[in-house]
Amino acid sequence: MPAPKLAAMNSKSVNASYHPVSVLLHWVLAIALLMMIAVGVYMTDLPFSPQRLKLYNWHKWAGVTILTLSVLRLVWRWTHTPPALPAKVVASMPAWQMLAYHATHGLLYALFLIVPLVGWAYSSAAGFPIVLFGVLPLPDFVAVNKDLAEMIKPWHEISAFAMAGLIALHVGAALKHHFVDRDGLLQRMVPWLRNS
């Protein structure tokens, strides 16, 4: 994915926001991912029961839905250039923070795809096919292989926790820009903050 342009905005686009579709995809995925992480942590400690099986099925359905939305978001990002960073941000952000900004975004986009794909691979290898919403069987991502499933299983958890950590970093940085730096960066994704 090409890095966003670092050029400062001109005077007419200082307060330019992301496209409404970008904003919608961002917040729908943000809410879905936070719920998925919370449910994922909760369900792993449940004893074997119909409730646990139901939660695992919902988790898989949500994972496939998030994967689909993530692909749509990535395609949208590739075809719609985001607004340039505000001049104040470009002027004040140290080089290491700019690097962290781009690296965090790139890694998040990668993990949005990796986490559900690894989960899908584990489910397939363990012999638990995904039947979307209980009616649409999806193809196995890999062949049934219990040894492979055991190898894959921890990577779903590791990648999910890595994504959770990056989300926390992303949220923390956004709040810093809004409340400490007051540079208008968060307003690009939360346009209604301009009126608050």
Distances in Å between the alpha carbon of 154 and those of 35, 37, 119, 138, 161? Answer: 20, 15, 10, 23, 11
What is the model's pLDDT at position 112? 96
- Left if phi > 0, otherwise alpha if psi is -120 to 50, otherwise beta: which for 16? beta
Q: What is residue 30's predicted lDDT score, i.e. its pLDDT? A: 95
Which domains can be identified in the chain, with CATH numbers?
A: 18-195 (1.20.950.20)
The whole-number pLDDT of residue 134 equals 86
pLDDT at position 91 is 84
pLDDT band with cut points at 50, 70 and 90 for residue 86: confident
pLDDT 10s digits, 55-73: 999 999 999 999 999 999 9
Q: Rounded mean pLDDT of the chain?
A: 88
Strands 131-132 and 136-137: antiparallel
Asked whether residue 10 carries a pLDDT value surpassing 50, the answer given is: no
List, for residues 149-184, the tens digit of each pLDDT value.
999 999 999 999 999 999 999 999 999 988 998 888
Inform me whether the pLDDT recorded for 2 exceeds 80: no
pLDDT above 90 coverage of the chain, percent: 70
Among the listed ranges 6-15, 94-103, 145-154, 182-191, which one has the minimum average pLDDT value?
6-15
Closest CA to 101 of 15, 194, 174: 174
pTM, full prediction: 0.86
Q: Among the ranges 8-22, 35-49, 67-81, 175-189, which has the highest mean pLDDT value?
A: 67-81
Specify the pLDDT at position 45.
86
Dig out the tokens for 45 from the structure. 């400690």
**Residue 82's CB: how many other CB atoms inside 10 A?**
16
